[in-house]
Chains A and B, each alone.
Chain A
């Protein structure tokens, strides 16, 4: 993966890389207990350490991995697991469409860079894009740290497995939720945003309760998007 070739000065790379590392650091720290938890749950479901490592390295999608591990069984229901993965990750299409044009990358670089698309890297980049273009150096610094962090922590979790005890005891299971709340707050509290958040939360919780995972993600997101459309003034700015 090449860095942003259009940047004229080397110090720009360094500044962008530093910004990427600074932004992703708290996210990576918060992801460690989640990764350990995933590895432990997966190994309890019968996956080997190598299988956990491969899933994290190649699929690299925490939400989908947790949902799939929840439903894991032998014989492996490949079609159902793949469909659940597709449903949960369908949000990537919208995220990529939104972020793609804001990144200073050429065509082929985008296809490599977007392998590393995650909620967290995307949310941080969207926030940064409100002020300046997102460079390849910024993105890849975040992406590689988060990818290595996830792969290593989940693999370690599979090794430690039963030694960890109950993750709820130390509140580690709530780290993911707290992280997402922090990221959402980064989008401000305009009227449209508050309406979006309220509607998404209500619909997602209702659908999760009445229909179940993973449908709450798609339905909650679509409801919030529709609410934003209706709440926004017809002409003007957002």
Chain B
């Protein structure tokens, strides 16, 4: 079992900046009173962030992933979350074998 000092330093630095990003929003939230377009922009944060994280995998990896992502999206409006994930994983396996 090894603990390497530079590795520990990197982990500590990562932990500190990550925690700071997590609490930083609490300092600005109380001063944000939003209406109209500004509110629409703020409400768009959740889907915008989630989509941006997965877009490269879903869209630019290959046809199997892109089609599986489309199938998953259709399933997502009809099925509970776990079933949606199952559909996504199953379709990517099938498509990778076909394509």
Contacts and interface: CB of A to CB of B under 8 A. Distances in A.
B25 A96 contact: yes
Contacts of B3: 48, 50-51
A211 to B, nearest CB: 11
A178 B1 contact: no
A95 B45 contact: yes
Contacts of A117: 22
Interface residues of A, number: 102
Tier of interface size on chain B: 35 or more
Interface in B23-40: 23-26, 28-30, 32, 36-40
B88 to A, nearest CB: 3
A58 B16 CA distance: 9
B72 to A, nearest CB: 5
B48 A181 contact: no
B46 A78 contact: no
A48 B1 contact: yes
B82 interface: yes
Contacts of A189: 77
A1 interface: no
A89 B95 CA distance: 32
Interface of B: 1-4, 6-15, 17-19, 21-26, 28-30, 32, 36-60, 65, 68-69, 72-73, 76-77, 80-82, 84-85, 87-90, 92-93, 96
